[in-house]
């Protein structure tokens, strides 16, 4: 058997060659079966790498190659490149330290670790790069060597030649399935309403010659693109699932496939909100008979929409103020119309839903004004113009839920969160522009964009609630972390919260937890990451010293329970952050995933007062005492008043002061002396009236002198003013 020939190429990289066999021909000896094996990854296990084959294992006995799974690919420990990078004296610190502590604090690093890529340093480094830099992957290596990520993940191999291998490894379908299953399980642990979701798709225009790039017509726009379907949680806006589809696949054909895959991954959907692209009669029937509630905007091209509009057009266009509601400073006329939205073809059973026919008054007038300015409209006849403008601003929402006319718009337009998520995945997640050129690398790129956008939404949610005195968390999350610090609140069952298996209404439980942090303003994730990227650290041989943090950086770190280290020790090619004595991080799921409570401030105070009273009773019982509540005190007082006639009354409390009509000691002696003189016949002296006699005068007062200034006299200021006037007159004369 021939032996593999190992040698170094001109760049100094270990490579290998299979020599094949030597065969004698008429022209002399010739090599047969010789081929190049590629870069040596593991010499003992005969693992090699070639751009055309990827990572593979060579069998010299059968002269065949075997593709390796990502989990079996060893960590590359050879030289990353042959360039010598100078030792930096300063590095970008804030963003890398924040993301590293955030991922470990909320235990999301365990979800990322299920991705079967062996070099985790490369995986985490690229996740940091997606969130903290808008540049292309060409600049990733330069960014890496000038950031704190170089010290957290020292084994990362992000040379531009190796990044395509990285994306191809994590872009396989089995890798995506494993990650999404772990991600959905992680989200389900945080809240109880994962069954309420929103679904939509976004386009990724590109000119890459791959099968999924196709001509797409979406909302009357034609693009060459592939599309990404995203499912997000209704209550938090956190993404649950994603899928890549060709650009020429319409949305309506994907909804059942997506919901089925979600169920297989452990997320059974009970309620879904979609745009008009997911609405058609067959889909509505199928969702209804599968027990899935839905809400979507109706497609105006369907017969049901036209029939409803024709029947209620006069009422909708009338000038009556009835059925008009105010939504976001807009006046909208809403008509609630029960209608059959599904019919079982076998049994003939009809399902009743509700169609909300709406007319946005402000949108109607603005669209009419805009249309009159277009040349194509003014060239039409009056009849054609009237037909065009009569339906402007009119739309319809169809749902299986029985909601009031005042609530329906707020319920439907929660889907704006998914539009916001698309903004996040295209900016923070760098979904577009697409800079990959094969199917596998595109799938790996979208996976990284999904994770980055999830973290960006998580940061946004946290920054939106840090100025509230109380936040709410799910009871499942509170049970796993610290239920003693919160208050259990049992909410009233919602009409939509029904258990299909038991046929009983379920009750939601929330935990109110106090969060005393208050920021002076509400920052955005973009402002957060930009300010953290400006926060640097000095690099020394034995330690890394962070710079003095600004107030904005301190507030951001404190919002997530992260403390800035005083120094970071460098020991044995590792790092050790050192916090101030007596300080520790409090970055937990409970703190980061808390939500705005649905209760008002008055309800929160009432619930908290009742909970404090219950806690006091338990403490008193433990010490053998009894606590009487205010209601019990009032009740006992009322009962005592009612039983006042049968029980001895308690002595009244003596009032302060002398009783009315009483006399002091001197008055009694004077009256006694007067009575004694009267008995002896002595008349009492006449009582002297109080005050000065009429006409009397005081001793020091001269009554001959009249009060006030003598007639004709002048004060000092007047005399001076007249003297100046006479002097001026003489000078003029």
Which tens digits make up the pLDDT trace of 266-290?
888 999 999 888 988 888 888 988 8
Dihedral angle, C-alpha 111, 113, 114, 117, nearest 10 ° = 150
Go through 286-321 and write b for each residue having 16 or more CB atoms within 10 A of its CB, e for each that does not: ebbeeebbbbbbbbeebebbeebbeeeeeebeeeee
Q: Return the higher-pLDDT residue of 550 and 376.
A: 550
Mean pLDDT check: name the lowest of 76-85, 327-336, 379-388, 512-521: 76-85
Helices (H), 217-318: 255-264, 281-289, 303-317
* Residue 82 pLDDT class (50, 70, 90 cuts): very low
Under the banding of pLDDT at 50, 70 and 90, the label for residue 98 is: very high
Angle at CA 317, nearest 5°, toward 312 and 319?
A: 125
Name the percent of the chain lying above pLDDT 70: 83
Neighbouring C-alpha atoms within 13 Å toward the C-beta of 361: 18
CA atoms within 13 A on the CB side of 725: 6
Is the per-residue pLDDT at 501 higher than 60? no
Largest pairwise CA distance in the chain: 179
Under 8 Å between Cβ of 564 and 578: no
Question: Which residues, other chains included, contact 123 with Cβ-Cβ below 8 Å and sequence gap of 6+?
Answer: 112, 115, 117, 166, 170
pLDDT at 484 over 50: no
The backbone torsions φ and ψ at residue 122, rounded to the nearest 5 degrees and listed phi first, read -65, -40
**Confidence class for position 502, pLDDT limits 50, 70, 90:** very low
The residue that leads in pLDDT, 616 or 177, is: 177
86 pLDDT band, cuts 50/70/90, is low
Tell me the mean pLDDT in the region 683-709. Answer: 68
| Higher-scoring residue by pLDDT: 4, 220 | 4
DSSP per position, 67-88: EPPGGGPPPP-S-S-SPPPPPP
pLDDT averaged over the chain? 82
3-state helix, strand, coil in the chain (%, to 5): 40, 20, 40
- Give every CB contact of residue 697 below 8 A, 6+ residues apart in sequence: 703
Lowest mean pLDDT, pick from 126-135, 183-192, 223-232, 687-696: 687-696
For 140, the 3-state DSSP assignment is: helix
Each residue's pLDDT tens digit, 101-151: 999 999 999 999 999 998 999 999 999 999 999 899 999 999 999 999 999
Look at residue 727 in the predicted model and tell me its pLDDT: 83
- Which among 373, 379, 393, 399 has a CA at the least distance from the CA of 297? 399
The residue ranking higher by pLDDT, 362 or 85, is 362
> Do 155 and 119 touch, CB atoms closer than 8 A?
yes
Is the pLDDT score of 154 beyond 70? yes
CA-to-CA separations, 473 to 247, 477, 565, in angstroms, rounded: 39, 7, 29
Using one digit for the tens of pLDDT, what is the confidence trace for 249-260?
989 999 999 999
Nearest Cα to Cα of residue 199 among 319, 283, 98: 283
pLDDT given for residue 642 in this prediction: 62
- Going from the N-terminus, what domains does the chain have, and what CATH number goes with each? 5-68 (no CATH), 174-300+324-354+399-441 (3.30.420)
Q: Which residues have CB under 8 Å from 412's CB, separation 6+?
A: 273, 295, 297, 397, 399
| C-alpha Rg value of the chain to the nearest Å | 42
CA angle (577 as vertex; 516, 586 as ends), nearest 5: 20
Any idea which residue has 């005042």 for tokens?
406
pLDDT interval class at 483 (50, 70, 90): very low
Residue 19 — very low, low, confident or very high, per pLDDT cuts 50/70/90? confident
Lowest mean pLDDT among 19-33, 164-178, 503-517, 605-619: 503-517
Per-residue model confidence (pLDDT) at position 608: 74
How far from chain centre, in Å, is Cα 250?
30
Give the C-alpha separation, 11 to 81, whole Å: 10
- The count of C-alpha atoms lying within 13 angstroms of the C-alpha of 289, restricted to the half-sphere facing its C-beta, is 16
Predicted TM-score (pTM) of the model is 0.72
- Classify residue 687 as left (phi > 0), alpha (psi -120 to 50) or beta: beta
Whether 246 contacts 227, CB under 8 Å: yes
Task: Give the confidence band of 55 by pLDDT, cuts at 50, 70, 90.
Answer: confident
CA distance 554 to 125: 24
Once rounded to an integer, what is the mean pLDDT over residues 463-478? 76
């Amino acid at each position: 058997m021939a032996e593999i020939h190992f040698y170094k190429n001109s760049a100094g990289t270990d490579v290998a060659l299979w020599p094949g066999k030597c065969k004698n021909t008429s022209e002399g000896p010739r090599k047969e079966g010789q081929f190049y094996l590629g870069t040596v990854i593991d010499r003992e296990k005969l693992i090699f790498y070639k751009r055309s084959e990827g990572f593979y294992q060579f069998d010299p006995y059968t002269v065949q190659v075997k593709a390796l799974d990502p989990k079996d690919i060893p960590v590359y420990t050879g030289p990353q490149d042959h360039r010598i990078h100078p030792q930096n004296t300063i590095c970008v610190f804030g963003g890398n330290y924040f993301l590293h502590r955030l991922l470990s604090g909320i235990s999301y690093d365990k979800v990322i670790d299920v991705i079967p890529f062996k070099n985790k340093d490369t995986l985490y480094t690229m996740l940091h790069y997606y969130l903290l830099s808008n540049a292309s992957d060409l600049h990733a290596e330069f960014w890496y060597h000038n950031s704190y990520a170089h010290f957290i993940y020292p084994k990362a191999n992000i040379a531009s030649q190796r990044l395509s291998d990285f994306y191809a490894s994590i872009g396989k379908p089995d890798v995506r399935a494993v990650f999404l299953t772990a991600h959905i399980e992680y989200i389900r642990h945080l809240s109880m309403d994962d069954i309420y979701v929103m679904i939509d798709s976004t386009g990724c225009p590109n000119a890459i010659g791959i099968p999924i790039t196709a001509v797409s017509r979406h909302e009357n726009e034609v693009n060459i693109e592939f599309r990404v379907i995203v499912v997000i949680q209704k209550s938090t806006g956190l993404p649950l699932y994603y899928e890549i589809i060709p650009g020429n696949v319409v949305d309506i054909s994907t909804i059942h496939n997506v919901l089925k895959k979600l169920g297989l991954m452990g997320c059974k959907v009970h309620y879904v909100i979609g745009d008009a692209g997911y609405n058609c009669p067959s889909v509505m029937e199928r969702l209804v008979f599968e027990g899935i509630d839905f809400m979507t905007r109706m497609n105006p091209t369907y017969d049901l929409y036209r029939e409803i509009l024709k029947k209620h057009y006069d009422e909708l266009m009338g000038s009556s103020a009835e059925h008009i509601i105010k939504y976001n400073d807009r006046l909208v006329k809403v008509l609630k119309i029960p209608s059959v939205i599904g019919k079982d073809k076998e049994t003939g059973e009809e399902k009743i839903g509700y169609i909300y026919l709406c007319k946005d008054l402000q949108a109607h007038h603005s669209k009419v004004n805009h249309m009159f300015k277009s040349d194509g409209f003014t060239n039409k006849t009056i009849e054609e113009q009237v037909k065009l403008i009569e339906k402007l601003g009119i739309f319809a929402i169809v749902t299986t839920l029985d909601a009031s006319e005042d609530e329906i718009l707020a319920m439907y337009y929660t889907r704006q969160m998914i539009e916001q998520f698309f903004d996040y995945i295209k900016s923070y997640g760098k979904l577009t522009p697409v800079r990959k050129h094969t199917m596998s690398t595109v799938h790996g790129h979208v996976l990284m964009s999904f994770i980055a956008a999830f973290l960006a939404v998580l940061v946004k949610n946290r920054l939106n609630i840090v100025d509230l005195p109380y936040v709410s968390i799910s009871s499942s999350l509170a049970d796993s972390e610290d239920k003693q610090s919160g208050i259990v609140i049992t909410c009233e069952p919602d009409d939509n919260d029904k258990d299909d298996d038991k046929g009983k209404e379920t009750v939601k439980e929330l935990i109110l937890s106090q969060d005393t942090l208050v920021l002076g303003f509400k920052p955005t994730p973009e402002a957060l990451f930009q300010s953290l990227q400006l926060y640097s650290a000095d690099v020394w041989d034995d330690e890394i010293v962070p710079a003095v943090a600004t107030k904005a950086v301190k507030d951001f770190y404190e919002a997530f329970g992260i403390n800035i280290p005083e120094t970071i020790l460098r020991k044995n090619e590792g790092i050790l952050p050192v916090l101030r004595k007596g300080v520790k991080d409090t970055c937990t799921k409970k703190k980061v995933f808390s939500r705005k409570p649905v209760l008002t401030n008055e309800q929160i105070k009432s619930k908290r007062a009742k909970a404090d009273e219950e806690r006091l009773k338990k403490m008193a019982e433990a010490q053998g005492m009894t606590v009487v509540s205010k209601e019990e005190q009032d009740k006992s007082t009322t009962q005592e008043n009612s039983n006042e006639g049968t029980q001895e009354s308690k002595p009244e409390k003596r009032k302060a002061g002398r009783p009315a009509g009483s006399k002091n000691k001197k008055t009694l002696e004077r009256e006694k002396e007067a009575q004694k003189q009267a008995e002896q016949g002595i008349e009492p002296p006449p009582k002297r009236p109080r005050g000065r006699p009429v006409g009397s005068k005081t001793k020091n007062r001269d009554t001959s002198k009249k009060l006030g200034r003598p007639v004709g006299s002048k004060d000092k200021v007047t005399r001076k003013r007249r003297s100046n006037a006479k002097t001026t007159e003489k000078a003029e004369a």
